[in-house]
Amino acid sequence: MAARRGPRPRGHERAERASERAYRSLLGAYPGELRREYGDEMARCFRDLCREALDGGGGLALAALWARTLPELVRTAVKERSTMLTRDTYRIALGVALAAAFLLAWIDLAVGTIEEPEGLAMVAPIGFFAVPVIGAVIAYNATKTRGIAYRAAVGVALAVTFLLAFVNVAVGTIGSEGNPANLLYVGVPAVGIVGALVARFRPHGMARALFATALAQALVPVIALMIWKPPVTSGVLEVLGANAFFVALFAGSALLFRHAARDQATAGAGPRG
């Protein structure tokens, strides 16, 4: 029968814990997404290596382990950061280009509709309902494996978007349903969709996308007032009040996404061994 090993020196345990803490700090060099997914596992593996080094060769073996680990950690962190920077730059540029193209096309369409108002009856329903349907299809694929807070945030955002579309087509938020100023509201859900694509549906990014959507919603009546310059009456105040209602709902969805991001961070941290 093998002889029982004696207790480990307390200095080894302190060195092991200190090495793990230092290694976890160095993991901050990696991108956040990779760190949340693999950070705990990497730290546990490194602690096991430290334990083996200390038990097998003491402090010199631990120093040798660090000498091998640090260059590799720096090399892989720089590589991952470079890869993510290239990918993020491309994604952001693509999102900005898509948003600019959509807004320019829609502004041109809105101006044409102002000149020929009879075209509004065909253009408005297409714009108001096509954008939410696209968002619903994208959201379905994005929420299948998400938590309750995330799905609730998506549900609120889609419900508000469809409500906004219905109100604008049925009665019109600004004036009547035939008012071409209501076409500006099509850009509101478009901002959310582009923001979601840029964020790759991650909760933190989705929160920013929905806050941007709320801002776009708030800017629509301001832009309409600047273009059409109507007299300030009780009708204008009613439009601002209705608009504030939608702004609050989009902001509420953003806060739910922020809550989902906190839940994800808590779950990613997990219990430490």
Residue 89 located in a structural domain = no
The yes-or-no verdict on residue 174 having pLDDT over 90 is no
Mean pLDDT of 79-105: 62
The yes-or-no verdict on residue 168 having pLDDT over 60 is yes
Give the span between the Cα atoms of 60 and 54, in whole angstroms: 8
- Residue 256, pLDDT score: 92
| Residue 217 CA: distances (Å) to CA of 160, 184, 189, 224 | 11, 9, 9, 12
Q: What's the pTM?
A: 0.55
236 and 123 in one domain? yes
- Residue 3, pLDDT score: 45
- Number of separate domains in the chain: 2
Q: 53 or 11: whose pLDDT is higher?
A: 53
- Residue 248, pLDDT score: 95
- Residue 110, pLDDT score: 56
Residue 30 located in a structural domain = yes
135 and 41 in one domain? no
67 and 167 in one domain? no
63 and 171 in one domain? no
265 and 211 in one domain? yes
253 and 123 in one domain? yes
242 and 122 in one domain? yes
* Residue 141 neighbours by CB distance under 10 Å: 9
Residue 243 located in a structural domain = yes
264 and 129 in one domain? yes
Q: Locate the DSSP E strands across 41-195.
A: none
Residue 151 located in a structural domain = yes
Residue 100 located in a structural domain = no
Mean pLDDT of 9-19: 81
Nearest CA-CA partner of 23 in 2, 34, 39, 3? 39
- Final residue of a structural domain among 28, 46, 77: 77
Q: What tens digit of pLDDT does each residue of 36-86 get?
A: 888 888 888 988 998 888 888 888 888 888 888 888 888 888 787 777 666
The yes-or-no verdict on residue 120 having pLDDT over 80 is no
133 and 215 in one domain? yes
- Final residue of a structural domain among 77, 105, 133: 77
First to last CA, the chain: 30
122 and 66 in one domain? no
- Helix pair 32-115, 10-26: axis angle to 10 deg: 20
Amino acid at 51: R
* Residues 6 or more apart whose Cβ sits within 8 Å of residue 177: 124, 168, 169, 170, 171
Residue 96 located in a structural domain = no
Q: Which domain holds residue 179?
A: 116-269
Asked if residue 31 lies in contact with residue 84, where contact means CB atoms within 8 angstroms, the answer is: yes
- Among 29-38, 135-144, 252-261, the minimum mean pLDDT is found in 135-144
Give the span between the Cα atoms of 239 and 223, in whole angstroms: 13
- Residue 121, pLDDT score: 46
143 and 24 in one domain? no
125 and 192 in one domain? yes
Residue 29 located in a structural domain = yes
Residue 212 located in a structural domain = yes
Mean pLDDT of 126-139: 57
